[in-house]
Each structure stands twice: as C-alpha cells, then as structure tokens.
Structure 1
C-alpha cells in the first residue's frame, strides 16, 4: 500500500547511509504502477527506482516479486480477495526470494530481514534461514499497542462482541485511557482482522521492532512496549530534504499544483486529501463539496480517479468545478509533500493516515480530521486530544455541509485558530529536534544499528 512505500524508502536510505547493503524488495504490481506514473509524468520510466541514489554511493539494490495476483487484477475494487492472498500466499513468495538471496550471495550474504509489521510470518522466514528479523511499524506506538492487545479488547467486550462497549478503555498497558470511538476500526472476523491478528502474533517473535514515531510524544506507550520488546522510536522517518527526493514512489501521475499555489496568499489554501486507499461514501463527498463552497476558502482537493469505482466527475454536484473555478483546484493526484510544504497552504483536511499526519506536522500545517478506517481513528486521538494540532470533523453522528464550512472557517482564520497554530509549531519543533544529532530518534536509530550489528554477528 502507498502509505508503506515512502517510509520503507526513507528507512533504506538511512540504513544505507550507515554502511549497510540494502536489497529493497517491491511487488511487481506496485513497481508497474510507479513506472506507469513516471512515464506519464516525466518521460521514460526507470526499471530501478534507486539508480540515481547509487550514483551518490549508497548501495541499495532493487528487486521485485509477485504478490500472487496478475498485474491486471484490480486490487482496490477486490480488496478482500487481495488481502486473503496476502495472508495465505504472499509469504511464500517472500520465503522463496529470501532463500535465493541467502543461497546466491556469497560475497554479500543476506543476514537480516527488515519486514513491514503487517507482512504475515516474517519471523518464520527469518528463523528458517537463520537471519535477524527486524519488524518495521510505519504507524504510531498507540496503534501498535492497541493492535498488540486485541485480545484484551475482546476479553473486555470493546471489540468483537455483541456488547461492543462504548465506555472508555482504561486497561491497555501504556495507555491511560482512550475513548471507544478512537479504537482502530477493524471488523471482527474480517480479512483485515485476520491479517492484523496474525501479523501481531508474529511481531512478538521479532528480534527488534522499529517504529515511525517520536519518543517524547508517546513516552508512556513506548516505555510499556519496551518492557517486553527491543523497540526503538526512530521517527519521523522523513528525509530532511524530502521535498526534493529523487526516488520515484507515486502510484499515479502527479498534477503539478505549484504554479496555481504561487498565485495564492500565504496560508490561504486548504489542502484536502483522503489518501491512496480509503473510500468516502458519496453522501459525505457531497457534504464536503458543499461545505468547501460555503466556506469561500481557496482549496486543493485530491479526488482519485477510482474513488467510488467511477469517474470522479460523477461524484461532485453538477457544474461544481465551474462554480469554484479559480478558488478551488480539483486534481486526481499530486505530490503531497510538495503541496503542503508550500507557503500558501494553511490547513489540511485529512483522513488521518499516519504519513499524512507526519508530513503535515513536519511542515507546521494544522489539520481537520476526517478519519475513515483502521488506524485513522487512533491517529485522530493523537492529533486532536493529545497533541492539540487539529480539530475533529467526525465529532458527531454525521457530517453536514454547515459543519464542514464552520470547521474550515475556524481553522483557516488566523484569529480563531491562533492557539492551534502555535501548538503545531511547537510539535513541529519536537519532530525536527528528534532528528537532530543529539535528538531522541537519531540516538535511538544509532542504538538500533548497534544492536542490529551485534545480532547479525551472532546469527
């Protein structure tokens, strides 16, 4: 999934800069999407997305494997069979590749498997080939510990029971209290639940766990996890010059918004995007559209071409784009980091995917939260309740165009949102300081590297 690609790329760069030889494994389908987007956006595609990086001296090799489905299979519209395939078959493809790498690389033997936490069974593969297993969690520690303790949520009736308790959850280690409405939304006995359950059984066997979060901002939760595991907070996993990253990773052709943004005053534009996977129902889309129009605020709205399985023009009210012409720019996809780092952007209406949260705070942009699925709800808790860098659009039973309008006006007015903007600047400093030479994430990363080298030497 798109939200897992960029963190993996940045992690590879950081590890390679420490002298590790990296073999980055992508799926053939994701690679095909990236190369198609390159061909559309910027001329000839490149079969090796790290080719320019190697010119700078970093040793990152690039391989692709099948995810078990043909390239033409629509993974978005057939998400359940796709996830079933990831649970039941994908680890076999990874196993086969790791075995080949271990066997064939006599000069540079593979001695560590860094796997996304949601990959099923990496610890079994690592044990089979006697290599170190590092689990890479691309989301915050709060989400990690909630998934880790799904059994406690089930035992207490907050998840997977007919009761489905709505009172606050106050029994999860490292979490003082969390509202039931902020728990990750996962259907009991669904394919997503199966994947998460199996992944978090496996993560208990990992040699090391690293996470895209910041020690100071989730100290109690992280400390609790560290009582059981070698867990390092090494986030935010971004490059200091991430806007100029030359490694192609976008799955769709990107519309260049810079020229349009250059015509807008500082902090006057609201950026609206709900990520690469999650879907919004048509009723909410219509309320959002009318709310944006009523607010009279300038905006960029990313509406993916496959949003509802139909052309995006059919989602919006008739003649909508003409009515907001000049004030609203509606695009199928864009370079998000380049957009939200632009001085004209004053707010981000987001689904609260973790990458979007991290990138927004990194750029000092406050959020309006419109969480949809899985980790989005817990991420909203961090943004709204804990760090106070955003407001909540889903604080009631439903959204209306009037509520959307009010939330936008509140955020985009410097008078009404002055405290929010001061706070986001403070949290932004915490993010940046964590990556300073003596910052917590930089120190943690060095500790992780030392432990990894020690475990590799003993493997």
Structure 2
C-alpha cells in the first residue's frame, strides 16, 4: 500500500448509469486510500446524482473529512434532448465538454490543488490529450468486459480481412471471433452497429470509438478493468498490460453512483423473505432498454404463465408507449402476492437474497458481475452495445444461463442493429422453466459465485491489483 504522498485525481466517466456506478466506487476507494478526487459528470447527470439522495450534499460527500468533490460540465445537449441516444452523445460531448474539462484542470491548478492524474473512462479518452497538455498523467478505466475492448481494438484487423468497411459497417454478415475463448460476435452486434438506428448514427459511433482507441493506445499509462482474471483469461491476455480490479461494487459504507432516487428497500426485502429459497424470478433491464407496448404485454403475460413468484423492476420509461393493458387492475389482481412490481430495486441486495433463483437481465456488465457474485442463473435479453457479447459469455462460455429468444440469423431477441424481435409470453414461460430446472446451470452458477468472491478478498488477485493501481497513482514520474 502506498504511503502518504497523496495526489489529486480527475475522474471522468462516460455519461451512462452503468459507467457512473463503478466510477463512483473507484472514486470512493481512492479517497479511502488518501487521494483527493474530483468527479466530473455531465451537468445533467450531476444534478440527477445530487437529487437521487445517495448520501451527497452540496457537491461533497456528506460525511466529514473526505476529499471527494462532485461537479458538472455542460454536455452540449438541449435540456429536453433525449440522453439515451448513443449516437447523439458520441457526436456532441467531445466538442461540448472539452472547454469544461480544460477549465476544471486549470481552476484546480489556480487554487493550489493541481491534478496529478486524469482517470478517464475509455469512452472519454478523447479528453486524455487535454490533460496531458496541462501536465497530467493518464490512466483509463474500462467498465465493461475485457473481451469487448479487445474486439474494439481489433478494428484494423476486421477491416483488413474484409469483415467491415472503413466506416465500420458490415461488408459480410458473419461472426467474428478474435481468439479461442473470446466470444464471437455477429457483425450486426458489433457495438457501433447496434447503437444507432441508421447508417449515419452507426458511423458516428464508430468514429467516436476510433478516437478513444487511439487516445488510449497512445497515452494511457494504466489500463484498468472491472473484471477478473478467472473470468476472462483469454481476452485479458490479448490486451496491453491490463489491470483487472473487479468485481468493483459499492462498499456498504460508500454512497453509490446511482442516478435513480433511492427507495426504501424494506418492503422489497420483506416480500423476498416470504418466498422459498431459489424460487423468485428477478427481472431488470438496466437504465436504457426500451420495449414496445406489445413486448411489455407479452412479458407480463409470460411471467404470469410461469406460476412462479417474480420481482420486476419496471422503470417509468421502460416503454415509450402506454402500459395500461399490461398492468391493468385485472392483471395486478391476478398476480397479487406472487408478483411485485417496483420502480427501481436495490439490485445487489436483491440478487444476494436467498429466495432469488434467476435473473432476467439485459446483460449489462455491472448486472452480470452482480449476478455472478450472487450465484444466480441468468435469462438473457440483450438490447444494445456490448450486451450481445455478454450474453454469449453467459450462455456459451460460463454456461450459467439461457437466452430468452433467438432470431433465425442468430442475432438474438435484442435490437441487434434493427427492430427487436417480439418474444411471446409462452416462449418466456418455456425459457423460465428450462433455466430454473437445469441443475447443471445452478451448479456452475455456484462455482462462479465462489470464484468472484475469492478475487475481491484481501488475498485475492484483484485486491492485489488495486493496491498496485494505488501505488502507481501515488508515484512521481
């Protein structure tokens, strides 16, 4: 562990919930180790974070004596613009936020507390050269799977072999596998090809990825991952000096980076207490998945058909349409006592509850790590970005879950760069029964729970790696 020559670090997360949460835990751990940290969100997310009631007050942690400052930088979008539009975010934020990032760096220097490091989300690596020009050193934190970054960094190879064009769009409809043990991805599932609704959007995201890849390769002294060696040995071996420090979850004494208002978990946990061990299906699709009204109705019907108890986290914006038919008074009466619908659940506590038997998930990386650590089965329903690769890990590599549904071309039930396939209620019921009755899946899930837990113990590899990160960040050039 490093000694007391602590410095000031600027943290810059990508402005999505799944990136902000591990970044906030990184910030809290750095502060615990003695560093001073400035956490720079977009203005929009900064306001959401403060309003969510996660233990923050007046841009500082409410607990006294800590050194974590929260601030916001304008993201260049109008106040009423949709901030789930990935292509729009990628198009606007580098130019819009550059001056704000430079201003934060220079203000800190003027105030006599200059930054020593910029610790950037890999998807915000465009900002790293700004820090270098002001004398900062640079580290990069990748919050998804190592496999996803390894594939992203292999774009030149995909172009060379004629799989994708210079603008990232598919030249072949085929599966690309970087190496044995690394999940293969259909060209329609490459992150930039399923993050936009038209060709211009996809090309914009692709250009954004290339910019960040170049900055990472050219300038990052540390490449940190929210993963662990047992989980992705092949993918990590393909990357330049990776430092896996995961699973990186919020410690009990740390405020979280959630942008959603906290709800009293006691009602949910009491409800879980009333059900047998391993009996409850938990359904949550992260902060960005959007379903059609028809799919919500089919999902609601499928859950009812299972006859099993279920807890469903239903975001207010889970569909852009009306949900009256799915959650009519008659439906709510039929599932009373067996189905619990909530706006937002304390997911880690829910997954760790003994009554949870299966997690129906969008396959976001944070959710996967939480589910693996809890030892639950998965039902995979990916939506966009890296989630299709994560589904392949779950179903084909680790074999701890099943896919909800597949297209004939193999691209799954999620968006995949096009319209989502409608999964009928009867198919949902069937897949729930298959995964809940598969004893081998249950056994493998338990094994992964033990492996994940061992990695974050004081004697674990990721614990040792995090101490190495602290030493490097505290060192002088």
Contact 2:313 2:342 in 1 (8 A): yes
| Residues 31-63 of structure 1: CA deviation (Å, up to 9, x unaligned) | 22233333xxx9x973335222xx3x5432332
SS in 2 for 1:118: helix
What is the 5 A alignment of 1:30-69?
30-38=45-53, 46-48=57-59, 50-52=61-63, 55=64, 58-69=66-77
Tell me how far 1:325 sits from its aligned partner: 2.0
CA distance in 2, matches of 1:286, 1:121: 42
| 1:331 equivalent in structure 2 | 342
| 2:400 equivalent in structure 1 | 389
Tell me how far 1:162 sits from its aligned partner: 5.5
CA distance in 2, matches of 1:387, 1:316: 35
CA distance in 1, matches of 2:256, 2:191: 33
What is the 5 A alignment of 1:281-360?
281-313=292-324, 316=327, 319-360=330-371
Match of 2:42 among 27, 31, 44: 27
Match of 1:218 among 207, 222, 232: 232
Which 4+ stretches in 1 moved above 6 angstroms?
none
Query: Can you give the 5+ residue segments of structure 2 that lack an aligned partner in the other structure?
Result: 1-15, 194-198, 409-420
| Residues 199-252 of structure 1: CA deviation (Å, up to 9, x unaligned) | 2222112121101000122112212212xxx4211111124x44x644463324
Q: CA RMSD in A?
A: 2.6
Q: Are residues 182 and 138 of structure 1, via their aligned partners in 2, closer, same or farther at CA, if it must alter by over 3 Å? A: farther
| Residues 328-383 of structure 1: CA deviation (Å, up to 9, x unaligned) | 11222222222222222111000000011111111112211111101001111211
Match of 1:374 among 385, 392, 395: 385
Tell me how far 1:314 sits from its aligned partner: 5.5
Q: Are residues 255 and 79 of structure 1, via their aligned partners in 2, closer, same or farther at CA, if it must alter by over 3 Å? A: farther
- Between 1:287-296 and 1:20-29, the stretch displaced more is 20-29
1:73 aligns with 2:80: yes
CA distance in 2, matches of 1:182, 1:142: 17
SS in 2 for 1:154: helix
Residue-pair matches, total: 436
Query: Can you give the 5+ residue segments of structure 1 that lack an aligned partner in the other structure?
Result: none
1:432 aligns with 2:453: yes
| 2:9 equivalent in structure 1 | none
Tell me how far 1:259 sits from its aligned partner: 2.7
Q: Are residues 63 and 37 of structure 1, via their aligned partners in 2, closer, same or farther at CA, if it must alter by over 3 Å? A: closer
What is the 5 A alignment of 1:27-426?
27-38=42-53, 46-48=57-59, 50-52=61-63, 55=64, 58-70=66-78, 72-76=79-83, 80-104=87-111, 106=112, 108-159=113-164, 160-161=168-169, 163-166=171-174, 168-170=175-177, 172=178, 178-180=184-186, 183-187=189-193, 189-190=200-201, 191-205=204-218, 206-226=220-240, 230-239=241-250, 241-242=251-252, 245-247=254-256, 249-254=258-263, 256=265, 257-313=268-324, 316=327, 319-397=330-408, 398=421, 399-412=423-436, 416-426=437-447
CA distance in 1, matches of 2:181, 2:132: 32
SS in 2 for 1:75: coil
TM-score by length of 2: 0.84
Q: Are residues 120 and 349 of structure 1, via their aligned partners in 2, closer, same or farther at CA, if it must alter by over 3 Å? A: same
